[in-house]
Structure 1
Amino acid sequence: MSHAQPPPPVDMVADAWTTHPTAHVLVGGAGNISMADIPNHIAKMHVLDLPRSERIRARVDEIIHDKTCKRSCFHDDYLAAFNRPNVKLVDTDGKGVQGVTATGVRANDEHFDLDVLIYATGFEVGAESPGSRSGISVVGRNGRTMDEKWAESPLTWHVIATHGCPDMFFSGPNQAGLSVTVLALLDTVAKHVAFIVSETFARQGRGKVTIEPTLDAESAWGMQVLAGAGAMAPLATCTPSYINGERSMDNLPMERQMKAASVGVWPKGMNDFMDVLQEWQNDGDFRELHVDTA
């Protein structure tokens, strides 16, 4: 799905994602696309994706009687479920559920009776700080919260740390290499953090230390992400969805667009992201980190 060129001689995964080459627009893999190349890049992705798109539309039309469903799925029974008499797709136009009652939920000023209500995180995306999703306020240096910092500049270093919050390591999709299996990212960053912590103690000796990326280091990482943002341009032309703000991204002020682009995914894909972290470890130079001993 990273659309690596040339492709490997043997598809060792051989699942549906490996036959979906334009998925690299979402998770990275195209490399850097200049501003001048963006129109051509979008056109190439549309041509590459058209046969698959038409095949999916035809399958949806063939199976589903209710034409309001737009989301496809690899599962053989997913689409057919919308034909069941006890299944109803409700479009809230982004407003969500208005409230929960003793017997169901209210949406669009209408009540829906339910036997079971399943809460899900949904597909809301954005550059929120790691603690905000859990209702946790992370306070960094000089009493400044992480939410306050990220409201201005939601930058990371290697997706695991941010300047101003020493000894805090985290993970997330922003500025990270991605794949459809998030466990690959979690495994990669966990090993990276373990290396940094163990190597720091090996160099500094036992005792209390603080580890924090420099401001220059996280700015440089963000610039690398921003430089590759052109590869993600085709997303703006996709069907309105969570990945392009329901098609509202083009209407945002340029400053907001640049800010959003700087916290996108690692543009060269998951394999390159892993290589970059490994090369940093092999280099052995901790100049991008500020380490203090207590």
Structure 2
Amino acid sequence: MDELPGVPERTSTETAPDFDAVVIGAGVSGLYQLYRLRELGLRVRVFEAGTGVGGTWYWNRYPGARFDSESWTYGYSFSQELLEEWDWEEHFAAQPETERYLNYVADKFDLRRDIQFESRVAAAHYQEDTRSWNVILEDGRRYTTGLLITAIGVLSAATMPTIPGVETFQGQSCHTHYWPKEPVCFEDKRVAVIGTGATGVQTITEVAKTAGHLTVFQRTPQWCAPLHNAKISKEEMNRIRADYPEIFERCQETFGCFIHATDPRSTFEVTPEEREAFWEKLYSEPGFGIWMGNFRDILVDREANKLISDFLARKIRQRIKDPAVAEKLIPKNHGFGTRRVPLESGYFEIYNQSNVNLVDINETPIECITPSGIKTGGAEYEFDIIIYATGFDAITGAFDRIDFRGVDGVSLKEKWQDGPQTFLGILVDGFPNLLMVMGPHAGLGNFPRAAEYSADWVTGLIRFARERGLTRIEATTAGANGWTDHVIAASEGLLFAEVDSWMTGINRNVEGKQVRRIMRYSGGHPAFRERCEAVAADGYRELALA
């Protein structure tokens, strides 16, 4: 084993693990979890596959990448000093600013000394005799740890399309997740973008500004809504800073940890004129208000959902000159808000440009990638650059790519082959001392708000165990079954559960991911916290501690 800075060389007779805790991932949740574990005085090592911190905001540097949560609700809340020092430049920060922010955090709290970069975890195997985990990196290096904490994100396992010939293309090509650090020039280039999800929408809008010609290959159109981004002046930033206590309190109160709260009225409690005026107001405002701050029934009542979907369809038709193109961009297989809503800045208008062409691959499927471009059922296209905005094997995908093995060598991937089973999205029965920050079935939403809570809860559990000399932390089978059943029950009646998307575990490019499964808790973050806090208040008696 290669020795690391700060890790004393051990003799062969020593049985203590190399670390008290290993964290996988140095993104938003991993950095904060490291900070919290240090407060407990633990010897911690973070393994990070990249060359820098940031996770999502390190890898996803594609053109147009930015927040769709308000930046001043997205930053960490744990340090008053950090809140005083950092000025956000925009209401919805672009990737470079967010990466700078996370590097600033890493430097301010001296986190890098416990992070090992270019260290992708390939496997982690639990050892019952020592109550520890063996962690194996892709390059063969091995380490042992008492606690293993995953901070690997919900959208971090990128997937390429299963199209023949991808490797034969002789031009430049890249998945948006693995975008190169050096600038890519699109001027006078023939560019293809495959995919029109949230990432595709951002990429397409930006590439269309300079590309010689852009061809968009769309399978599933999206219900996009305007972002309405703007710069933040010094005076406005000072007002935001003064309001931070109220902002974070508001995020704690809302269903998804955003500043937008569901309107208590139903769609049919108001007149058609009032309804239209309300939707016009939401459509003209920044952020997720039209999704998270809409009438309370639009995501459960089919007729209500149809009305808001019809409103968005009218907006698309108004913004696109060619009626035939507009119809191709209006979703037909899902209602508004039943998939994650991409926020856009002029996305629909780019289809009015003479240098942009839309190809519906439902009408003319892609047959193969050729050395010079893309062949569909109706034509052959030549390109200089192909961009794959084909998304992620969401939520469980990053876990599937690591060979986690628990008690008696049981594989986590096999255990979850019919869907994840967790306790609170944090623990898994049969996998002692494995703790997940923002794991499957956790309360999702505005990511840092949810991640801070998850990491705090994990830290509290570890503190409880260490104070009592406990070295084995595990969910019970009954606890995991009970929470999993509750998660599934919480999704009943929600229209999103009837739709194929990454939120229901569907990915046509991944074997075994073609059946809908409930991957996240849909009861809202206040209810999630209430359940977690009840477990802690009861002395964690629902867990198996030894």
* TM-score exceeds 0.5: yes
Report the CA distance between 1:88 and its aligned residue: 3.1
Deviations 1:157-176 (A, max 9, x none): 11122112222222456322
Corresponding residue of 1:174: 440
1:55 to partner: Cα distance: 2.1
The answer for the alignment partner of 1:189 in structure 2 is 454
**Deviation of the 1:193 alpha carbon:** 1.6
1:69 is aligned to 2:324: no
| CA pair 21-153 structure 1, distance change in 2 beyond 3 A | closer
Give the one of 273, 279, 284 matched to 2:534.
279
Task: Tell me how far 1:217 sits from its aligned partner.
Answer: 1.1
Q: Which residue of 1 aligns with 2:26?
A: none
Moved more, 91-100 or 108-117: 91-100
Q: Does 1:224 align with 2:224?
A: no
What are the equivalent positions in structure 2 for 1:201-212 lying under 5 Å apart?
A: 201-204=466-469, 209-212=471-474
For 2:354, which of 71, 79, 85 is the aligned residue?
85
User: Is 1:131 aligned to residue 396 of structure 2?
Assistant: no
Over 3 Å counting, the alpha-carbon distance change for 1:89 and 1:277 in structure 2 is farther
Distance in 2 between the 1:157 and 1:167 partners? 13
The one-letter code sitting in structure 2 at the alignment partner of 1:187 is: E
Q: Sort the Cα spacing of 1:184 and 1:153 in 2 relative to 1 into closer, same or farther, 3 A.
A: same
What is the rounded CA distance, in whole Å, between the counterparts of 1:153 and 1:76 in structure 2? 36
Question: 1:145 maps to what in 2?
Answer: 411
Residue 211 (structure 1) shift: 1.9
- Paired AA for residue 235 in structure 1: F
User: Following TM superposition, by how much is the alpha carbon of 1:138 offset from its aligned partner in structure 2, in angstroms?
Assistant: 1.3
Structure-2 change in CA distance of 1:97 and 1:244 (3 Å): farther
- CA separation in 2, counterparts of 1:77 and 1:235? 26
Q: 1:19 to 1:221 in 2, by over 3 A?
A: same
1:165 to 431, 439, 458: 431
Identify the match of residue 213 of structure 1 among 468, 471, 475: 475
Q: CA shift at 1:124, angstroms?
A: 5.2
Provide the rounded CA distance (Å) in 2 between the counterparts of 1:165 and 1:94: 47
The one-letter code of the counterpart of 1:218 is A
Supply the AA of the counterpart residue of 2:523: K
The alignment covers a number of residue pairs equal to 249
* Alignment partners' CA distance in 1, 2:318 and 2:431: 53
**Aligned counterparts of 2:533 and 2:462: Cα–Cα separation in 1:** 15
Which one has the largest radius of gyration? 2
Contact 1:22 1:45 in 2 (8 A): no
Secondary structure (helix, strand or coil) at the match of 2:384 reads coil
For structure 1, which runs of at least 5 residues remain unmatched after alignment?
Answer: 8-13, 25-29, 31-40, 247-255
* 2:288 maps to 1:17: yes
Tell me the residue number matched to 1:288.
Answer: 542
Distance (Å, rounded) in 2 between the aligned partners of 1:161 and 1:244: 21
Per-residue CA deviation, residues 190-231 of structure 1 (Å, 9 max, x unaligned), is: 2222222222112217xxx23221111111111211222323
Larger RCO (CA within 8 A; separation ≥ 6): 1
What does the per-residue CA deviation read over 1:65-97, in whole Å, with 9 as the maximum and x for residues that have no partner? 213123675424011112223333334449996
1:146-165, Cα deviation, whole Å (9 max, x unpaired): 11111256201111221122
Using the size of structure 2 for normalisation, the TM-score is: 0.39
Higher strand share: 2
Contact 1:130/1:170, CA 8 A, preserved across alignment: no
Out of 525, 533, 536, which is 1:270 matched to? 525
Q: Which amino acid letter does the alignment assign opposite residue 399 of structure 2?
A: G
Identity %: 21
Query: 1:118 aligned to 2:384?
Result: no
Whole-Å separation in 1 of the counterparts to 2:403 and 2:364: 26
Deviations 1:208-263 (A, max 9, x none): x232211111111112112223232x23666x7655689xxxxxxxxx77xx3xx3
Between the aligned partners of 2:310 and 2:415, the Cα distance in structure 1 is 44
Cα 1:289/1:44, change in 2 over 3 Å: closer
SS of the residue aligned with 2:430?
Answer: coil
Higher helix share: 1
